[in-house]
Structure 1
Amino acid sequence: MTLSLSGFSRMTSLLSRWLRFRSIDPSWSELNLPETANIVLVLDNNALSDRLALHLLCRKGAIGSVDASLATSGHMPRHVMLHQLKRSFLRSPQNRPSPHFEAFLENIEHHQDDVPVMVVPVAFFWGRRPGREARGLWGLMTADHWPLSGRLRRLTTLLFNGHHIDVRFGTPYDVKALLNAPAPSASHARRRVVRLLRHQFQQLRQQVLGPDLSHRRTLVRSLLMTPSVRQAISAQAEESGAELPHVEKQAQRYAREIASHTSPQTLWLLYQLLGRLWNRLYDGVKVHGLSRVRELAGTHELIYVPCHRSHIDYLLLSYVMYHHGLTTPQVAAGRNLNMPVIGSILRKGGAFFVRRSFKGNALYGAVFNEYLHQLIRRGYPVEYFIEGGRSRTGRTLPPRLGMLAMTLDSFLRKDSSRPMAFVPIYIGYEKVLESGAYQRELTTGHKKKESPFDVLKVFKRLREPYGQVHVNIGAPLRLDDWLNQHFPDPVRTDHHWRKQAVAALGEDLATRINAAATLNGINLVALALLGTSHMAIEEDLLARQLTLLNALQAHAPATQEMRCAEGTPSEWINHAIDLGMIARCDQTLGPVIVVAEGRAPLLTWYRNNVLHLFARPALLAFAFRHRRQLTLGEIDDLVGTMWPALDNEFFLEETDDREESQTLLQAMTALGLLKATDRGWERGATDDNEQLHWLGAMILPTLERGFLLVSLLLRSPSGTYTAQALEQQSQALAERLTLLQGLNAPEYFDKRLFSGLLDTLIEGEWIHMADDDTIVVSQALDDALRQRRRLFDAPLRRRLHHLLAQPEAQESD
């Protein structure tokens, strides 16, 4: 549509009250354009709606002093179109090269001067980002998508989504420098500029809309034609003796079982419903670090790897991305969630389903592997939980490496030009929906099967308070850089390198997730209260301990990514009471805070969410448990060998242990817990000594587990136990110990924790495995236990001695 300059201005004025710009990213000032340059704005095509939006954007002053009118300044236009739309009655609109842009480049070549010409790609997205709660179904139907729209649809888009325009600027380029760069010919240099800008617009659209994913039926059909799946089908037919068409149908059923069927309408409906659900359940969802995702979106294949605390996790993360104008990921969900009704909704919301194990089913593994590769190759963001399942203990679980291995294999196939980046995400709840179920599962050892009727139970809880949710984006892991650093090309000649790389990748990602932990009032109350002897404390002392814990992270943060809690101790205490976690008992001498009835196991879950942040200072505090004064060397002798066990159990970032100890000791001195002396450090006054004792008590369960396992191992001759037998016996003794101590803490005797301790002992060369799979113990381990057993209280040592002396403690496989 061609309009005169006066007609164009009148139409812009007419629409100025209707069109609204919801977001401009990045801002004009962030582009850092030279003040002396000629600025030329570039649109992807000559769509009238985009030209009107650009004209209005300039009139509102959102693009500096640039005027986007149709007039020119000398030989330089204010804006140009990269393409022109070719329309016909029989075909949808098509992009064609713009002769005006070609003329613009030729004009620059003929007017050579010293003034740079900066071209700035600008893209408008109508209705993609749902910044308001109510837009209506028509607004969704006319929102931007990958195929080009006709005039009628563009007009409808302008009417329904004129209040919801998002503006995205691409990277500015000095077009003169590009044209003057070495090239075979002038026409070749001009084509290079066009390709560069076209790629910019594709990146902007992919960042906002996601890639143009084929229809599910087309994707399923293409999966069955790939060489890897064809080979698996042939192998299955040959092995089973079945006819080839029968095996092909089986592969097709697997593909349909796996594949998502993303529907924009369903995404919009879920956004509306979940927005209302969050408002009813939570006091707010706070998102930190989203700029990291924006920097990578459009240029990298994104793999989101959040921690897994609740079924809410994947719904929440998709909601956050949709709300902030980013492509919602394709989410790997367990096949147990593919239930009637619920499974269909999740599938249309972007979920693809995966079985817990591929063992013994090579055909299913080949189909799933290829499906994941197709998602990655096409540039769709993918989300999965490296822990495998939800954490019933509250701590980050050891990574399950299957999905990571398939992702690495896809990356190494190199049929995608986009680099890959993993995005670790920590999700912290003040109260989790499944908390009661977790405690039952840990106690009984049985996991309840999911049912569609579980959704109805959520509605019963809508009146309960659940506090806030924090979503913290950790430091992204760029896979190219990571591989070059840890596994350069010469190392990759070893056939074991891939297995080692996957294990190291899982460890690194778990560490980055933990590094992004966010403290909240419930975490701090749980840490402080569970560190007391009887889970009861005066309210003023609790407030002091909460202040200390938060200040300790402010003085010496465990990681650069973690976030301290917001608010005051009195607010945290009152909030924990409102959530039913603790109770206040009013006494004549002042109120006492106690754990609410039956809530002690639940508080351990919230403590474990962030316990890793305090593991190292707690270990140092524990060293002063029975020693008033210590030098740095003495501290290192007492607890130095325990650092690797902490790093393994809590997925802590690698540091120089001695330097880390000095930093923490200085922070504890600044907070009054310790005093610096000529000999080193000593405990503070009585009140400070009590706070130091509570801090050290946080790490006691971890040290007790290690003390129990090593004591059991050394109780019998070397070569008595296999790893499995030792883990089982340690678990049984730990469970018995919790009963004798009057504790209800199922996570204390989690078998995976004992397995991790054994791995640490093997890595530290304290033990090694014999040819018959029994454990051979070094003398150094016996010496270390004798030296450090005095760290533990005498009653605990006596109780362990009694447990180990019982006949069942001597049994092994």
Structure 2
Amino acid sequence: MSDKILNSHDFQEALRKCSEETGIPFDKVEKEAAADLKEMAARPGRYSVAGWEAFSKWLARAYKLDVNDRELVELRKLNKDSSLVFLPNHRSYLDPLVLRSAMQPYGFPPNHVLGGVNLAIWPLADFGQKNGIVFIRREFKDDHVYRATLRAYLSYLIAQRSNLEWYIEGGRTRTGKLRPPRFGILSYVIDAYTEHPDNDVHIVPTSIIYDQQHEVSAISAEEAGGVKSPESLKWFYDFSKSQSRRLGRAHVRFGEPLSLKEAVKLTEDENGKPRPRLAVPKVAFEVANRINAVTPITPVALVTFALLDNEDRALTVGEGRDILGPILGYIEKRHLPMTDNVDLNDQGDMRKAVERLVSENVVEVYDGGVEPVFRIPRDRQHEAAFYRNTVVHFFVNRAIVEVAVLKAMDDGGDSEAITENTWQYAKRLKDLLKFEFFFPSTKDFATNVKDEVDLAFPGWEDKDLSAATVEKSFKDAKLHVAHRVIAPFLEAYTVLFKQLAAADPAMVVEQDALVTKCMDIGQQLWLQHLLHNPESISKDLFKNGLQLADNLGLLEPGDAELKEKRAAVAKELQGYVDKVSVIRHLARERSREFLATHETYGA
């Protein structure tokens, strides 16, 4: 295999070009390419594959598999005539093992899995390569020889009709929600497809989600400012040992496959010539949307959804039911995917989810009174938010509508003005949150907003809207989600932009230092009860806020006008945070009404 790749005409030409661009003699470039290929290439073997499958099941022993048989049967049929490229989300080091275990009973050949070379630790490196693992470097954009070698290897695999797998986020999610996709490997695969257009290739969006994860506590600690432990033999021993505790199920779902042939065809110019690089971002974001669409809502996600952002109050089981009842009604109306038909009675799946969270100390229970009450401790709120964030994408449009309607209500005016202003605020919130969530085109987003308004305020088009009628509708509503869905992101961005506004506009922004400063200030604001969400104190959120600032043209040095623009965005964000506080207050009032009619502690 190596000789075939190294001696191919196209690769030889690519290496000659590398030699010319770098000034390195061709024989040295060729030798470097051979070493790179040896480092990355998988070397599957029949006996080692059987051993790997047993190893996979042992390492992922904390979970029972939950798969959709119909999806896998249909994919196996598709695989007879087409190569498949599986692009899963990335939540755990176990993801490739879980996916392998899910596919193996259906007769799929092992995927060639592209993974980070940081995991090529002894003795897993050799074992992994013999089982289709392709270890690639994290950073290689300036290494022309390595790039050419990886491109040639992927082209070879596509030509051989091999199935591929890699994790499009480029790393495990730190917050629980899907991260923005990385384009690099996808661009190489699309290039490889254009070299072999007769070999049809389908991209398979893949969702892997766990009831709970052993890794989440470490991930959450890193996100709150901790240091990531390097991968090593000791790390692997500790990781494998932790999997002895059962944590429920691992759920694997597959979105509708995308044909690369069709995706590339859509990029043809007026002369019918394809422009495959234009397909890369479109395919990547479509994959992300399809992953989100099939990610099932778990009982643990719902429990953490209810227990977070309650002003640090403990809830009774009854209060939890009261919060989740309208949410489940919303899920049913929108036909959202779930892992179970959730039952809100004491012996149902929700109760089991609470018990698992209590056993892992994510939720604490006090049962010394009349009835048990549950809360999430301060030091586990990042961890709980990880589980909640696995499903927030389903509620983000509803959250945006809630805030947009309140802002439009403040502006006043007649029905037409309130409707138009609601749309303008919704568009603005979509733009501010575009580095956190995947949004559709403006046209499709407009449809989504209208659908959400229809659900939140039935018959609104036939009513004479005013500030008073909108306020009454809000107070009468049983479902309020903005404080549970978008508040952490808006609060984090507000902290960041206030620091940008306070900085000297002529100075270069030291991004790492600013993130560290925002972490410290966020902690202070939380201790002062000026920040509602401790999960807002997040390196990932502050870094995304910096991306937003850059996108708005507010990161590069400037003059006094730049300072004013930064301050204006900070003020705008604070305005949205204030509206979320109104929604939080309405939810709190509803909770008080529930307690008043279900009082037990005075019995």
TM-score class normalised by the smaller sequence = 0.7 to 0.9
The higher relative CO (CA closer than 8 Å, separation ≥ 6) is in 2
CA contact (8 A) 2:176 2:390 kept: yes
Residue 635 (structure 1) aligned with residue 413 (structure 2): no
Count residues with an aligned counterpart.
Answer: 560
Q: Deviations over 1:677-725 (max 9, x none)?
A: 5427646699966x544554421122223444555566679x7576x55
Structure 2 letter corresponding to 1:252? A
Richer in strand (by share): 1
Counterpart for residue 269 of structure 2: 489
Point out the more displaced range, 580-589 or 351-360. Answer: 580-589
CA contact (8 A) 1:404 1:502 kept: yes
2:521 pairs with one of 723, 736, 751 = 736
Query: TM-score scaled to structure 2, two decimals?
Result: 0.81
- Write the distance in 1 (CA, Å) between the matches of 2:163 and 2:515: 42
SS in 1 for 2:315: strand
Counterpart for residue 87 of structure 2: 305
When residues 679 and 322 of structure 1 are mapped into structure 2, their CA distance, relative to the original with a 3 A threshold, is same
SS in 1 for 2:114: strand
- Write the distance in 2 (CA, Å) between the matches of 1:710 and 1:491: 47
When residues 735 and 700 of structure 1 are mapped into structure 2, their CA distance, relative to the original with a 3 A threshold, is farther
SS in 1 for 2:161: coil
1:661 pairs with one of 442, 449, 467 = 449
Give the CA deviation at 1:388: 1.1
For residues 346-745 of structure 1, what are the structure 2 equivalents within 5 Å?
346-413=128-195, 415-444=196-225, 446-485=227-266, 487-490=267-270, 500-534=278-312, 536-557=314-335, 562-563=337-338, 565-569=340-344, 570=346, 571-579=349-357, 580=360, 581-586=362-367, 588-596=369-377, 598-623=379-404, 631-654=418-441, 656-669=444-457, 678-679=464-465, 682=470, 692-693=479-480, 695-709=482-496, 720=506, 724-725=509-510, 729=514, 732-733=517-518, 735-742=520-527, 744-745=534-535
CA contact (8 A) 2:91 2:173 kept: yes
Give the CA deviation at 1:306: 0.4
- Write the distance in 2 (CA, Å) between the matches of 1:340 and 1:594: 42
For residues 729-768 of structure 1, what are the structure 2 equivalents within 5 Å?
729=514, 732-733=517-518, 735-742=520-527, 744-745=534-535, 746-747=537-538, 750-758=541-549, 762=552, 767=553
CA contact (8 A) 1:727 1:751 kept: no
Q: Deviations over 1:114-163 (max 9, x none)?
A: xxxxxxxxxxxxxxxxxxxxxxxxxxxxxxxxxxxxxxxxxxxxxxxxxx
- Write the distance in 1 (CA, Å) between the matches of 2:303 and 2:276: 43
SS in 2 for 1:609: coil
For residues 46-125 of structure 1, what are the structure 2 equivalents within 5 Å?
none
When residues 649 and 462 of structure 1 are mapped into structure 2, their CA distance, relative to the original with a 3 A threshold, is closer
**Where does the alignment leave 5 or more consecutive residues of structure 2 unmatched?**
528-532, 583-603
Q: Deviations over 1:187-218 (max 9, x none)?
A: xxxxxxxxxxxxxxxxxxxxxxxxxxxxxxxx
Q: Deviations over 1:40-83 (max 9, x none)?
A: xxxxxxxxxxxxxxxxxxxxxxxxxxxxxxxxxxxxxxxxxxxx
Counterpart for residue 249 of structure 1: 31
When residues 437 and 367 of structure 1 are mapped into structure 2, their CA distance, relative to the original with a 3 A threshold, is same
Rg: which structure is higher?
1
Give the CA deviation at 1:796: 8.8
Give the CA deviation at 1:332: 0.4
1:258 pairs with one of 40, 47, 61 = 40
When residues 301 and 550 of structure 1 are mapped into structure 2, their CA distance, relative to the original with a 3 A threshold, is same
Structure 1 letter corresponding to 2:538? E
Counterpart for residue 125 of structure 2: 343
For residues 128-167 of structure 1, what are the structure 2 equivalents within 5 Å?
none
SS in 2 for 1:599: helix
Counterpart for residue 113 of structure 2: 331
Give the CA deviation at 1:454: 3.1
When residues 735 and 539 of structure 1 are mapped into structure 2, their CA distance, relative to the original with a 3 A threshold, is farther
Give the CA deviation at 1:546: 2.2
Counterpart for residue 111 of structure 1: none
Structure 2 letter corresponding to 1:747? S
Query: TM-score scaled to structure 1, two decimals?
Result: 0.61
When residues 428 and 247 of structure 1 are mapped into structure 2, their CA distance, relative to the original with a 3 A threshold, is same
- Write the distance in 2 (CA, Å) between the matches of 1:436 and 1:362: 38
- Write the distance in 2 (CA, Å) between the matches of 1:310 and 1:483: 32
CA contact (8 A) 1:421 1:478 kept: yes
Structure 2 letter corresponding to 1:352? V
CA contact (8 A) 1:528 1:694 kept: no
Point out the more displaced range, 624-633 or 380-389. Answer: 624-633
- Write the distance in 1 (CA, Å) between the matches of 2:160 and 2:579: 62
Counterpart for residue 84 of structure 1: none
SS in 2 for 1:465: coil
CA contact (8 A) 1:649 1:756 kept: no
SS in 2 for 1:792: helix
CA contact (8 A) 2:11 2:148 kept: yes
Give the CA deviation at 1:337: 1.6
Question: Percent identity, aligned pairs only?
Answer: 22
SS in 1 for 2:81: coil
- Write the distance in 2 (CA, Å) between the matches of 1:676 and 1:465: 53
Alpha-carbon RMSD across the aligned residues, in angstroms, is 3.8
SS in 2 for 1:302: strand
For residues 282-321 of structure 1, what are the structure 2 equivalents within 5 Å?
282-287=63-68, 289-321=71-103
When residues 554 and 636 of structure 1 are mapped into structure 2, their CA distance, relative to the original with a 3 A threshold, is same
CA contact (8 A) 2:499 2:518 kept: no
SS in 2 for 1:345: helix
Structure 2 letter corresponding to 1:357? E
When residues 266 and 782 of structure 1 are mapped into structure 2, their CA distance, relative to the original with a 3 A threshold, is same
When residues 268 and 677 of structure 1 are mapped into structure 2, their CA distance, relative to the original with a 3 A threshold, is same
- Write the distance in 1 (CA, Å) between the matches of 2:17 and 2:305: 55
Give the CA deviation at 1:253: 1.9
- Write the distance in 2 (CA, Å) between the matches of 1:473 and 1:359: 31
CA contact (8 A) 1:314 1:331 kept: yes
SS in 1 for 2:256: coil
When residues 619 and 738 of structure 1 are mapped into structure 2, their CA distance, relative to the original with a 3 A threshold, is farther
CA contact (8 A) 2:66 2:252 kept: yes
Give the CA deviation at 1:583: 2.6
SS in 2 for 1:653: coil
CA contact (8 A) 2:91 2:176 kept: yes
CA contact (8 A) 1:727 1:755 kept: no
- Write the distance in 2 (CA, Å) between the matches of 1:470 and 1:583: 26
Counterpart for residue 77 of structure 1: none
Structure 1 letter corresponding to 2:88? P
- Write the distance in 2 (CA, Å) between the matches of 1:425 and 1:403: 17
SS in 2 for 1:546: helix
Give the CA deviation at 1:452: 2.7
Structure 2 letter corresponding to 1:461? S
Counterpart for residue 601 of structure 2: none
Q: Deviations over 1:719-754 (max 9, x none)?
A: 7576x5578647733651243213643436534311
Structure 1 letter corresponding to 2:331? Q
- Write the distance in 2 (CA, Å) between the matches of 1:625 and 1:735: 31
Give the CA deviation at 1:441: 2.5
Give the CA deviation at 1:407: 1.0
Structure 2 letter corresponding to 1:741? W
CA contact (8 A) 1:550 1:564 kept: no
SS in 1 for 2:538: helix
